[in-house]
Amino acid sequence: MAAPRQTSPPRHPIWAGLTLDRPRVMGVLNVTPDSFSDGGTVDPETAIAAGLAMRDDGADIVDVGGESARPGASPTPPDVERARILPVIRGLTAAGVLVSVDTSHAETMAAALDAGASIVNDITALTHDPASAAVVAARGCPVILMHMRGTPATMMALARYDDVLAEVTAELHTRIEAAERAGIRRDAIAIDPGFGFAKHPAHSLALLRGLSALTTLGFPIVAGVSRKSFIGAASGEAEPARRFPGSIAAGLFALAQGAAVLRVHDVRGTKQAIRVWHALSVTEPFSEDVGLPFRNAKD
């Protein structure tokens, strides 16, 4: 069987202040009682400690969310969402962590940016709240536009595709055009195909196999494959928290198809895997910020 085509990210574009000449890692910090695999942390001190640990393990970004987006989840009132995440964002940014806020509510976006967050990560690609695009445009902040249909409560009923790769690409293109019309700069935009969101496992697997097609849109790709249901379906592992090996396999495949950022739960292990993958995928020596300094070693 042929190896996956190596489609390395463009050499030196910059997004959110990060050069994308090497893979970047976004750590998932859900400050919720009910996220699909890691909910239950709503105490700010505990959440801040977890975010700092991700930073220390090598996360380039810590993605803070206060509303569960698991299939079938009920909406969280925005004021409750803000109460959960704002103390955490303040604590992390005070320590120098680059924070993205995972929200679909314009007021929460604005409050999170005021609290020190730098990036907006919206699973609805700025469709849920009519005021959200204006907030992002006015602040000039980086934004991740994710593909999803419907809401977490309804999305799986809308998981119907004739060609999932073509349809996701076209629907993301539509959202990119809408963002630009709203005044959001092209260099602020990254895209996320939304693995598991309005997608059954077969859809997510097909989307990942063809992920390199999304590079034609010309934007950095954020791949959130960690612990997703398609990994459980492919591996037979029913427990999300035990899907780390499958998450690594899927994440490295995504990088080979051109993804620039991996959104993960297990930062330390992912960073180790990326260092080895990077060593096997490139010809230049390691730099200090990628892995160990290059040396001619026999051991």
Residue 251 Cα distances to 5, 88, 269, angstroms: 14, 27, 12
> Annotated catalytic residue: which of 263, 268, 275, 295?
263
The span from the CA of 84 to the CA of 67, in Å, is 9
Show the tokens assigned to 291. 């892995």
- Nearest CA to 65 out of 96, 36, 94, 23 is that of 36
The span from the CA of 299 to the CA of 291, in Å, is 17
Burial-class residue 134 by CB neighbours within 10 Å (0-12, 13-18, 19+).
middle
263 is catalytic: yes
Contacts of 208 by beta carbon, 8 Å cutoff, 6+ apart: 195, 223, 225, 230, 250, 253, 254, 257
The span from the CA of 93 to the CA of 99, in Å, is 7
What is the largest distance, in Å, between two alpha-carbon atoms of the chain? Answer: 59
268 is catalytic: no
> Annotated catalytic residue: which of 227, 228, 243, 271?
228
Q: Hey, which residues are catalytic here?
A: 228, 263
